[in-house]
């Protein structure tokens, strides 16, 4: 007999006793600089953030005019990964483009 077969005292938690909490969400914010070309920013928004061309153009203009713009809202791990992808792609092409994480409130 297995040591696990005598475990008749296991209790099952009811649905009411388990409280699930939505994960915190975080914004990826692209920061303006004086060196990164606008077409590269549009490419980053399309490739990394899955934006279409019109959305990418609008975000890029917002970044250019206001100094920063929201690229998307994700869980922390996803936002962190996307920011790392932006940094790696920018570095590959020699641009100082950067992105930051901000908690979505």
CATH fold of 24-103 reads Ribosomal Protein L30; Chain: A, (3.30.1390)
Burial label for 100, CB within 10 Å (0-12, 13-18, 19+), is middle
Report the C-alpha gap between 87 and 81 in whole angstroms. Answer: 10
Partnered with residue 98 across adjacent β-strands are: 31
Beta-carbon count within 10 A of 74 CB? 20
Report the C-alpha gap between 81 and 20 in whole angstroms. Answer: 24
pLDDT digits (tens, 9 = 90+) for 15-43: 567 788 899 999 999 999 999 999 999 99
pLDDT digits (tens, 9 = 90+) for 40-98: 999 999 999 999 999 999 999 999 999 999 999 999 999 999 999 999 999 999 999 99
Give this prediction's pTM: 0.80
What pLDDT score was predicted for residue 7? Answer: 57
């Amino acid at each position: 007999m297995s040591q696990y077969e005598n475990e008749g005292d296991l209790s099952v938690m009811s649905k009411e006793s388990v409280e699930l909490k939505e994960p915190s969400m975080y914004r990826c914010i692209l920061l303006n600089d004086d060196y990164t070309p606008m077409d590269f920013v549009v490419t980053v928004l399309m490739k990394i953030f899955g934006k279409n061309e019109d959305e990418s153009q609008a975000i890029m203009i917002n970044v250019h005019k206001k100094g920063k713009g929201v690229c998307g809202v994700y869980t922390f791990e996803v936002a962190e990964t996307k920011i790392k992808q932006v940094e790696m792609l920018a570095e590959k092409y020699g641009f100082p483009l950067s992105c930051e994480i901000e908690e979505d409130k």
